[in-house]
Amino acid sequence: MKNFLKIGLCLISATILILSNREVQADQQYLKLNPQDHVVFIGNTFAERMQNAGYFETLLHSRFPDKQLVVRNLGWSADELTLRPRSKDFQDHGHNLEDHKADVIIACFGFNESFAGKKGLAKFEADLNKFIDTTLQAKYNGKTNPRLVLFSPIANENLNRHGLTDCKENNKRIELYTAAMQKIANEKNVLFVDLFTPSNKLMNNGKHPLTFNGIHLTDYGYQQLAPAIDVALFGPRIKSGSTVDIKKLRAEVLEKNLQFWYDYRAVNGYYIYGGRKAPFGVVNFPAEFAKLRKMIQNRDQRIWAVAQGKTVPTKIDDSQTGDFVDIKTNVKDLSSIKITSPQESQNKFELPPGFEINLFASEVEFPELQNPVQFAFDNKGRLWVCTMESYPQYLPGKNVDDKVLIFEDTNGDGRADKQTIFANGLHLPTGIELGDGGAYVAQQPNIVFLKDTDGDDHADYKEIVLHGFDSADSHHSISAFTWGPGGDLYFQEGTFHHSQVETPYGPRRLKNAGIFRYEPRTEKFDIFVSYSYANPWGHVFDRWGQNFVADASGGANYYGTAYSGDLDYPRKHAGMKQFLKKQWRPTAGCEFVSSRQFPDEMQGNYLLNNCIGFHGVLQYKMKEDGSGFAADPVEPLVKSTDTNFRPVDLQFGPDGALYLIDWFNPLVGHMQHSIRDPNRDAQHGRIWRVTYNKKPLLKSPDLAKASIPELLDLLKTYEDRVRYRVRRELRIRNTEKVISAVNKWVAALDTKDQDYQHNLLEALWVHQNLDVVDTVFLKKMLRSPEPKARAAATRVLCYWRDRVNNSLDLLQVQVNDDNPRVRLEAIRALSFYHDPKALEIAVESLIHPQDYYLEYTLKETMDTLEKRMEAE
């Protein structure tokens, strides 16, 4: 599936001829195009992804080279006919159908709607009728009614991948909705293209998969389907002597689409057209977008020229597209802006006795280290970091080149001496996590999976795996990537955002902040916490799988179990107390001390970065508080008097030292200065390393080279971060071998070891990582003598509930457990059910002693279940 990118484009014209018009459902009715027509796509992720593929659009221009068609793709992840949430005042941004003067509208709906099944069909039909009527009556081009084409959803593909749905049920529903669309289109005399049938055929006949997750076409998939669309819309191609260079034409199409993407899906919309456009955005952005829109028109012209067989200069001439407004800083006291050298910064740190801080890397030795945001260690012990020199956002005409860098300390002196550029050309990678043989990287509004397939440490495979995370405020966008112990990837976004993501299990939506949870193996994707955060930027799991969340803007910190029960969009969890009393704000990143390199008395402490006012790492001592936790402040670990020091991520490294990345910037506010304030710094960035000088460094295990049994033994390691990286490594080993080895490992564990129950829990998490459900083992852990293990096993049960028989009976036992945290996990888990029995079980928890979190979570679970019962 990885190398299809490389399959030649020359196949296209051949494929066109192979497809006969037997595939075409539209009888003799074809779409008629006039010169200079504006063709606009609207609809869901199928439409949105078309712009990255560009195959159909290339065919369109090659078929009508003289018509000078203006093609605009307004597709939007998970859009439905009547549900298209956008951030505030998006309608003022200039991308309504009137703004684009649409003559032809190609509408791709029905897939997300189809998850409502038979029950939802009547509503869908009514909505579709209304949509057609309204559309056909409008005059978006100011003169005539538009021509409308309806595309059916494509078929879903059975990838025969362990854990992933075979899509059978999906396809039944899609067929049902496709038939309804066809019926209504006939009644209304609207052109309809059935994509279900040809895509289904391609999926069944092809040697290669067309999708990467069952529902979204890969580049190859779009390439295969494009001719079918072309023929369905315009009839069979007559062999012509066309000399169009399809490859060149597609390159021009993709370049136009890229610039249009920067416009349509501009990041920081809140500062361009939304709630915070004044007083700064209204000054700089109008000129920027005027220029960008002229650049897009330039690209239309190049497309037409190439389609007509003309040659165009390699370099695009954008000289006539206008100028930017000169933006002056609003920093009046320029002496306050002083870039400190790494050495000067070094001298401004204060740490408790016995601690040292040293520079691991900086822009001085590694000029590419600019505005680093998040980092992770790979299984060879190397540090990967994403950088954002293009921050706060793309400037029209200036290519973005944000990067993922790999740093290595090859001689063990605690400083990086080697840098590799894993990926470049990125735009605002606000988050990164490694896994599954590559890297998951935020590319608002998407998440891409990048992978090196040929061993040169440079990404040569790229797939957008998730779409639709809002980017209305780029510094509220998806961030703080972290794995849960079960192999689930978490990331967060802040308020103002309206996100919607298509999954093989239906669309998932979130408005105004929350945390996402993604299982790459099964493609399950859910809203993990829907909460009215300002801007969460920190998420960490403790040794026993309990999670904690830091909200950056207000400096709030929350205990995660209590408010991560299920609820239905657009509900949000009620306000919950914080587990510690805020000292400072804003924060960015949290971590538990779990390193034998650090003093014994610090173990388990909660560390929290703070970047305005107090510049450093705050420290809190954790304590049990009934079913939950509380924490008290103790002496901060790091404190700097350099106000440029902005620690934004922290993590213990394989050597047991604490690593910190420093965004390094004299200005940080989004609201306090123009987005284009010249004093925003994009040239600096540092990585610092904190060690304790009274204890030795830890030996960094080479996980990448370790055998499976060696890896399993490493699960007994004290350090949370070692076990974290071991689980991540085991995920990419052969599933059967790992499972067979882990079962042997469990059998051989020393039952008298004081960590025996924790070791067992690690084995259960390995099962969860590999998505291998072992009910017998799970049941054993649900009744472990260690309550912390019972609580963690209850969380596993929650995510296996669809594959464990009588899971409600098991939860009934947990709800009546002696230990309050086990009861809390059970009450949380019950919110995921649609069965009235879950409610009856949840209230049984009232027989037992109560505390704040138990009461809070019970209320939340009851609300979710009651709402579902009302809706039934």
Of 79-118, binders to another protein (CB under 8 A) are 82-91, 96-98, 102, 105
632 binds another protein (CB under 8 A): yes
Contact between 421 and another protein (CB under 8 A)?
no
Residue 703 interacting with another protein (CB under 8 A): no
Is 713 among the residues that bind another protein (CB under 8 A)? no
Instruction: Give the three-state DSSP class for 63.
Output: helix
- The residue (of 89 and 365) whose beta carbon lies closer to another protein is 89
Find where tokens 């066809």 sit: 182
**Rounded distance between C-alpha atoms, residue 674 and residue 328, angstroms:** 9
Give the integer Cα–Cα distance in Å for 825 and 811. 9
Record the tokens describing residue 596, joined without a space: 């034998």
- The answer to whether residue 570 forms part of the interface with another protein (CB under 8 A) is yes
Please give the structure tokens belonging to residue 271.
């500062």
Q: Which of 27, 323, 413, 870 binds another protein (CB under 8 A)?
A: 870
Quick one: CA dihedral 461, 462, 463, 466, positive or negative?
Answer: positive
Compute how many other C-beta atoms are within 10 angstroms of the C-beta atom of residue 20.
9
Site for another protein in 373-392 (CB under 8 A): none
C-beta closer to another protein: residue 274 or 487: 274
Helices 281-307, 246-264: crossing angle, 10 deg rounding: 160
Among 584, 625, 713, 717, binds another protein (CB under 8 A): 584
Residues 394 and 401: beta-carbon distance below 8 Å: no
- CB 173 to another protein: min, Å: 23
Q: Which is nearer to another protein, 148 or 789 (CB)?
A: 148
Q: Which stretch binds another protein (CB under 8 A): 162-170, 454-462, 495-503, 687-695?
A: 495-503
Q: Write down the least CB distance from residue 671 to another protein, Å.
A: 5
Residue 431: φ, ψ to 5°? -155, 155
Q: Does 869 bind another protein (CB under 8 A)?
A: yes
Stretch that binds another protein, among 196-204, 226-234, 630-638, 791-799 (CB under 8 A): 630-638
Q: Are 680 and 673 in contact (CB under 8 A)?
A: yes
**Of these, 74, 478, 714, 791, which contacts another protein (CB under 8 A)?**
74
Q: Which of residues 216, 673, 790, 795 is near another protein by CB under 8 A?
A: 673
Scanning 299-307, 481-489, 536-544, 581-589 for contacts with another protein by CB under 8 A, the matching segment is 581-589
Pick the closer one to another protein by CB: 641 or 740. Answer: 641
Q: Which is nearer to another protein, 695 or 848 (CB)?
A: 848
Closest separation in Å from C-beta 290 to another protein: 22
Report the site for another protein in 510-549 (rule: CB under 8 A). 511, 532, 534-535
* DSSP states along 455-524: SSSS--EEEEEE-----SSGGGSSEEEEE-TTS-EEEEE-TT-EEEE--TT--EEEES-EEEEEETTTTE
Q: Applying CB under 8 A, which part among 59-67, 703-711, 801-809, 857-865 lies near another protein?
A: 857-865
Separation of alpha carbons 550 and 579, rounded Å: 10
- Cα(97)–Cα(114) distance, rounded to whole angstroms? 25
Task: Tell me which of 27, 333, 454, 600 binds another protein, using CB under 8 A.
Answer: 333
The helix or strand, by DSSP H or E, that contains position 48, with its residue range, turns out to be helix 45-53
Instruction: Based on the shown chain and the rule CB under 8 A, indicate whether residue 671 belongs to the binding site for another protein.
Output: yes
Cβ at position 632, least distance to another protein in Å: 4
Return the residues of window 342-361 that contact another protein according to CB under 8 A. Answer: none
C-alpha span between 529 and 526 (Å, rounded): 9
Please check whether residue 708 is in contact with residue 740, taking contact to mean a CB–CB distance below 8 angstroms: no
- Interactions with another protein, residue window 279-298 (CB under 8 A): 279
Among 525, 522, 426, 465, CA closest to 1 = 465
Closer residue to another protein (CB): 673 or 795: 673
**Shortest Å distance, C-beta 870 to another protein:** 7
What number of other Cβ atoms are within 10 A of residue 169's Cβ?
13
The distance of closest approach from Cβ of residue 736 to another protein in the complex, given in angstroms and rounded to an integer, is: 44
Q: Is 862 in the site for another protein (CB under 8 A)?
A: yes
Q: Does the footprint of another protein cover residue 41 (CB under 8 A)?
A: no
* Distance from C-alpha of 617 to C-alpha of 164, rounded to nearest angstrom: 41
Verify binding: residue 188, another protein, rule CB under 8 A: no
Q: Which is nearer to another protein, 21 or 96 (CB)?
A: 96
Asked if 330 is part of the footprint of another protein (rule: CB under 8 A), the reply reads yes
Among positions 94, 163, 554, 678, the unique one binding another protein when judged by CB under 8 A: 554
Q: Which of residues 532 and 819 has its CB atom nearest to another protein in the complex?
A: 532
Out of 496, 548, 652, 777, name the contact with another protein by CB under 8 A: 496
| Using rule CB under 8 A, residue 835 touches another protein | no
Q: CA–CA separation, 2 vs 218, rounded Å?
A: 10
Please list, residue by residue across 410-422, b when 16 or more beta carbons sit within 10 angstroms of its beta carbon and e when fewer do: eeeebbbeebeeb
Which residue stretch of 180-188, 243-251, 274-282, 288-296 sits at the interface with another protein (rule: CB under 8 A)? 274-282
- Contact between 840 and another protein by CB under 8 A: the answer reads yes
Minimal distance in Å, beta carbon 82 to another protein? 6
Q: Using CB under 8 A as the criterion, what x/- string covers residues 119-148 for binding another protein?
A: ------------x--xx--x-x--------
Name the DSSP letter for residue 584.
S
Name 328's Cβ contacts closer than 8 Å, sequence gap at least 6.
Answer: 678
Furthest CA-CA distance within the chain: 83
Question: Does 242 engage in binding with another protein (CB under 8 A)?
Answer: no
Residue closer to another protein by CB (options 433, 551) is 551
* CA-closest candidate to residue 159, choices 206, 112, 222, 226: 206
* Among the residue ranges 47-55, 405-413, 482-490, 859-867, the one whose residues contact another protein (CB under 8 A): 859-867
Both structure tokens of 137: 């009556």
Q: Is 403 in the site for another protein (CB under 8 A)?
A: no
Tell me the window of 284-292, 427-435, 456-464, 845-853 that interacts with another protein (CB under 8 A): 845-853
C-alpha separations of 869 from 69, 106, 521, 574, 727 in Å: 51, 38, 31, 20, 39
C-alpha–C-alpha distance, residues 432 and 246, integer Å: 35
Neighbouring residues of 401: CB distance < 8 A, sequence distance ≥ 6: 389, 390, 424, 425, 426
Q: Report the residue number, 15 or 583, with the smaller CB distance to another protein.
A: 583
Q: Should residue 495 be labelled a site residue for another protein when binding is judged by CB under 8 A?
A: yes
Q: How far is the CB of 86 from another protein (least distance, A)?
A: 5
Task: Say how far apart CA 261 and CA 266 lie, in whole Å.
Answer: 7
Distance CA 816, CA 823 (A): 7
Binding mask 589-628 for another protein (x = CB under 8 A): -----------------------xxx------x-------
Number of residues that bind another protein (CB under 8 A): 81
What is the C-alpha separation between 547 and 545, in angstroms, rounded? 6
Q: Is 575 a binder of another protein (CB under 8 A)? A: yes
In one letter, which amino acid is 861? Answer: T
> Residue 16 half-sphere exposure, CB side, CA atoms within 13 Å?
20
One-letter identity of residue 75: G
To the nearest whole angstrom, how small is the minimum distance from the Cβ of residue 3 to another protein? 38
Choose one: 220-228, 414-422, 583-591, 684-692; the region binding another protein (CB under 8 A): 583-591
Among 6, 183, 571, 577, binds another protein (CB under 8 A): 571
- Sheet containing strand 438-443, edge to edge, reads 432-435, 438-443, 446-451, 461-466
Q: Does 696 bind another protein (CB under 8 A)?
A: no
In the complex, minimum distance from the CB of residue 855 to another protein, in angstroms, rounded to a whole number: 6
DSSP H helical ranges for 138-215 = 168-188, 196-205
Amino acid at 840: E
Query: Looking at this protein, which amino acid is placed at residue 246?
Result: I
